[in-house]
Amino acid sequence: MKTTLLLATVCFQLVIAPISGAAPTRKILKVMNSSWPPFFNAKGSEAYPGYGLELTKRCLNKSGYEASFDFYPINRMFDYHFKGKLDVAVMSFKESRAKKLLYSKEPLFINTYVGFVRADSKFKYAKLSDLDALTIGHLSGLKTSDEYRHYIEKRLSKAKDSRVEIVSADNDNIRKLAAGRIDYFVGSRATIFWKASQINLADRIKEFPHKFKEASYYLTISKKSNNIADRAKLIKDFDQCVTREKKSGWYKKTRNRYGSP
């Protein structure tokens, strides 16, 4: 009888030992996704989900969390994030948002709007009026500097020969520029180089080094999220991870995969 009890005890200990030593289940956070390559590429291939997404996933994982990325139309995404239905997002800083969100300190990436010309262009830019003689492509709804927006509006107000061609997609501007149908357009540096590489026209255009707008993008945590016990700790751990990845070379290597300068 004693031998039977001893064997039963040993077997019970062997069964529960792996369970008691198992790692705790990671909390799964609902994270925003977006169709904004090369930062977030919800509609792209699994091989290129966006380097902003890759960094977010990597550093959430190293901070002790798993990420479930969800795509929503932009207005719904904001609403869900403010209400805590989306735990985490990546956004530029605005005072109005800071009332509802916690921001990281280290930016995941910087989005810069610059001008583009053909690769063989000799054009030199010093001031906006230098664009007067050029045919300009303009993406409908593009938001850059107020100065550039007013300039485009002024050109468009000319009923005859505004020489501004409105397009609905970045690729239209890229193709028109490469074909010589326009001389200049403004767009997101990273996005334009990514899209140009996807249609094999990256070598036909070049960036003109004048910044019309620049914004840093940070991890944000909803103050109404119920899935993060210590939000301040997550922000701290995430910032440290982003800093390490930028120094290690992983960040640059990943950006280069997406054709970002």
Cα angle value 220/222/225 (rounded, 5°): 135
Residue 4 lies in a domain: no
The per-residue pLDDT for 23 is 54
Residue 123 lies in a domain: yes
Residue 2 lies in a domain: no
Last residue of a domain, one of 196, 214, 232: 214
202 shares its domain with 126: yes
187 shares its domain with 222: no
Comparing 8-12, 43-47, 107-111, 230-234, which segment has the lowest mean pLDDT?
Answer: 8-12
Residue 15 lies in a domain: no
Q: Considering its fold, how many domains does the chain have in total?
A: 2
158 shares its domain with 182: yes
Residue 172 lies in a domain: yes
223 shares its domain with 100: yes
Tokens, residue 20: 């008691």
- pLDDT bin (cut points 50, 70, 90) of residue 250 is very high
- Confidence check: pLDDT of 4 > 50: no
Residue 84 lies in a domain: yes
105 shares its domain with 187: no
Summary mean pLDDT of the chain: 90
How many Cβ atoms from other residues are within 10 Å of residue 243's Cβ? 14
Q: Which of 227, 135, 127, 115 is nearest to 180 (CA)?
A: 135
209 shares its domain with 126: yes
Query: pLDDT per residue over 33-76, tens digit each?
Result: 999 999 999 988 889 999 999 999 999 999 999 999 999 999 99
119 shares its domain with 161: yes
* Beta carbons of 221 and 87 less than 8 angstroms apart: yes
* Beta carbons of 239 and 104 less than 8 angstroms apart: yes
Query: pLDDT per residue over 145-197, tens digit each?
Result: 999 999 999 999 876 778 999 999 999 999 999 999 999 999 999 999 999 99
101 shares its domain with 176: no
Q: 175 is in which domain, residue-wise?
A: 111-214
- Alpha carbon distance 142, 184 (integer Å): 15
Tokens, residue 196: 């140009």
Tokens, residue 40: 């977030």
Tokens, residue 216: 């840093």
Residue 41 DSSP class:
E
Residue 21 lies in a domain: no
CATH of residue 159's domain is 3.40.190.10
47 shares its domain with 138: no
The per-residue pLDDT for 166 is 95
161 shares its domain with 198: yes
- Confidence check: pLDDT of 21 > 70: no
174 shares its domain with 134: yes
Residue 9 lies in a domain: no
The per-residue pLDDT for 24 is 61
The per-residue pLDDT for 219 is 98
* Mean pLDDT (whole number) for 127-136: 94
